[in-house]
C-alpha cells in the first residue's frame, strides 16, 4: 500500500488537533460545572473536588426550570405546526407542477434570510397591542415563520427521493387513496419528516433575538434568554459554576441526540446537495 505509517500518523495527529479544537471548550465547561466554589479558579482540568452542588443549585429555583419548560413547550409546538404546514408545501413542490413554482420557493428562502433584528421592534409593538407579548404564542408565531422555509427546503429534498409510483401501484392492487398514502408513502416519508423536525426544533431551541426581546417574565422566557440573566443578576456571587452546569444541562441532550441520529441530521443539513 502507498499509505505509509508516517502519513497515517500525521493524519491521526491532525484528527486529534481537530477534535480538541471542537471539543475542548465543551469539556472544560463540563469540568467547571463539577468543581466546588473554592476550586473553581484553580485551573485544573480535572476537578480536584467533585460536587453536584452547581446542578442542585440550578434546579433548586424556578430561574432555570421554568425557562426549560418554556423552551421545550414553545419549540415543540412551533416544530409541530411548522412541519405540518411545511409538509403540505413540500408535497406541492415535489409533486405538482404549476407556473411560478420557482418564484414561490425563492420567496420562502428569502424570508429565511430576512434579518430578524429589523422585525423585533414592530413585533414588540404589535404583540403588546394584541396581548401576545410575553406569552407562548408570542414566540411560537415568529418561530414558525422562520422555521417554515427551512422545513420546506429540507422536506422537498426528501420528498423528491420518494418513489411515488408505489402509490399508484398500491392503488392498482386495490388500496384506497388513503390506504395508499398511509400504508405506502407515509412510512417512506417518515425519516425525512423526522430529520426535518429535529432541525426545526434545534432552530427554535437556539433562538435568542426573539427570546430576549419578546419576553419579560418567567411566563415565557426561554433558556437562552434566561441564561443571559444568570450572568446579570449575580454580581456578588460568582456564577461561573452555575452557568457551566446550566450549559451542560441544555447542551448534553442535543449532543446525545445528534450522536444518536447523526446520519440523518447530516443527510438533512446537506439534503439536495448530496443528490444534486
Partner 1 sequence: MTTTTAAPTPPPVSEAAPVSAPRRRANPWKRRAPLLPALLFTIAVTQVPFLVTVFYSFQSWNLVRPGSQHFVGVQNYVDVFADSQFRGAMLNTVLLTVVCVFVSMLLGLGLALLLDRKFVGRSVVRTLIITPFLILPAAGALLWKTTMFDPTYGLLNVGFGGNTDWLSEFPLASVMTQVVWQWTPFMTLLILAGLQGQSKEVLEAAQVDGAGRWRTFASITLPQLSRYLQLAALLGAIYIVNSFDAIYLMTQGGPGTASTNLPFYIYQRAFEGFDVGQSSAMGVIVVVLTLVVATFALRLMFRTFEVSGGVK
Site residues for partner 1, 145-164, by CB under 8 A, read 145, 148-149, 152-153, 156, 160, 164
Return d(Cα 124, Cα 51) in angstroms, integer.
42
- Go through 68-96 and write b for each residue having 16 or more CB atoms within 10 A of its CB, e for each that does not: bebbeebbebbbebbbeebbebbebbbee
Among 69, 72, 77, 227, binds partner 1 (CB under 8 A): 227
- Is position 109 an interface residue for partner 1 (rule: CB under 8 A)? yes
Answer yes or no whether residue 111 interacts with partner 1 by CB under 8 A.
yes
Cβ proximity to partner 1: between 27 and 60 the closer is 27
3 state DSSP class of 250? helix
Among 1, 96, 172, 174, interactor with partner 1 by CB under 8 A: 96
Q: Choose one: 52-60, 61-69, 131-139, 258-266; the region binding partner 1 (CB under 8 A).
A: 258-266
What is d(CA 197, CA 116) in angstroms, rounded to the nearest whole number? 21
Asked if residue 151 lies in contact with residue 86, where contact means CB atoms within 8 angstroms, the answer is: yes
Least distance to partner 1, CB of residue 273, Å: 4
CB of 96 to partner 1, least distance (A): 4
Q: Pick from 47, 80, 209, 218: which binds partner 1 (CB under 8 A)?
A: 209
Asked if 258 touches partner 1 (CB under 8 A), the answer is yes
Residues 6+ apart with CB under 8 A from 53: 36, 37, 241
- Closer residue to partner 1, CB minimum distance, 62 or 201: 201
Residues 6+ apart with CB under 8 A from 126: 132
- Please tell me the count of residues contacting partner 1 according to CB under 8 A: 110
Candidate segments 46-54, 55-63, 81-89, 131-139, binder of partner 1 by CB under 8 A: 81-89
**CA dihedral angle for residue 8, residue 9, residue 12, residue 18, rounded to 10 degrees:** -120
94 binds partner 1 (CB under 8 A): yes
Map the footprint of partner 1 across residues 230-249, applying CB under 8 A. Answer: 230-231, 240, 243-244, 246-247
DSSP 163-177: -THHHHHHHHTT--H
Query: Residues near 245 by Cβ (< 8 Å), separated by ≥ 6?
Result: 33, 54, 55, 57, 58
- Measure the CA–CA gap between 120 and 64, rounded to whole angstroms: 25
Q: Which stretch binds partner 1 (CB under 8 A): 54-62, 72-80, 130-138, 268-276?
A: 268-276
Shortest distance, position 84 Cβ to partner 1, whole Å: 9
Amino acid at each position: 500500500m502507498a499509505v505509509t505509517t508516517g502519513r497515517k500518523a500525521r493524519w491521526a495527529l491532525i484528527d486529534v488537533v481537530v477534535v480538541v479544537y471542537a471539543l475542548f471548550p465543551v469539556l472544560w465547561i463540563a469540568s467547571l460545572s463539577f468543581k466546588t466554589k473554592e476550586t473553581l479558579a484553580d485551573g485544573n482540568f480535572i476537578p480536584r473536588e467533585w460536587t453536584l452542588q452547581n446542578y442542585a443549585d440550578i434546579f433548586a429555583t424556578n430561574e432555570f426550570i421554568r425557562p426549560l419548560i418554556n423552551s421545550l413547550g414553545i419549540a415543540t409546538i412551533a416544530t409541530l405546526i411548522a412541519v405540518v404546514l411545511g409538509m403540505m408545501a413540500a408535497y406541492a413542490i415535489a409533486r405538482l407542477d404549476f407556473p411560478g413554482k420557482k418564484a414561490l420557493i425563492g420567496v420562502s428562502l428569502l424570508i429565511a434570510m430576512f434579518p430578524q433584528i429589523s422585525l423585533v421592534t414592530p413585533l414588540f409593538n404589535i404583540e403588546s397591542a394584541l396581548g401576545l407579548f410575553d406569552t407562548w404564542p408570542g414566540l411560537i408565531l415568529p418561530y414558525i415563520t422562520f422555521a417554515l422555509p427551512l422545513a420546506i427546503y429540507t422536506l422537498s429534498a426528501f420528498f423528491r427521493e420518494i418513489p411515488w409510483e408505489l402509490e399508484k401501484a398500491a392503488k392498482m392492487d386495490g388500496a384506497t387513496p388513503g390506504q395508499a398514502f398511509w400504508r405506502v408513502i407515509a412510512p417512506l416519508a417518515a425519516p425525512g419528516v423526522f430529520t426535518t423536525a429535529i432541525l426545526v426544533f434545534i432552530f427554535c431551541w437556539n433562538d435568542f433575538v426573539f427570546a430576549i426581546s419578546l419576553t419579560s417574565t418567567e411566563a415565557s422566557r426561554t433558556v437562552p434568554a434566561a441564561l443571559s440573566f444568570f450572568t446579570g443578576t449575580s454580581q456578588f456571587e460568582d456564577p461561573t459554576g452555575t452557568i457551566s452546569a446550566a450549559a451542560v444541562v441544555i447542551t448534553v441532550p442535543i449532543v446525545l441526540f445528534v450522536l444518536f441520529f447523526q446520519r440523518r441530521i447530516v443527510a438533512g443539513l446537506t439534503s439536495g446537495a448530496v443528490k444534486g
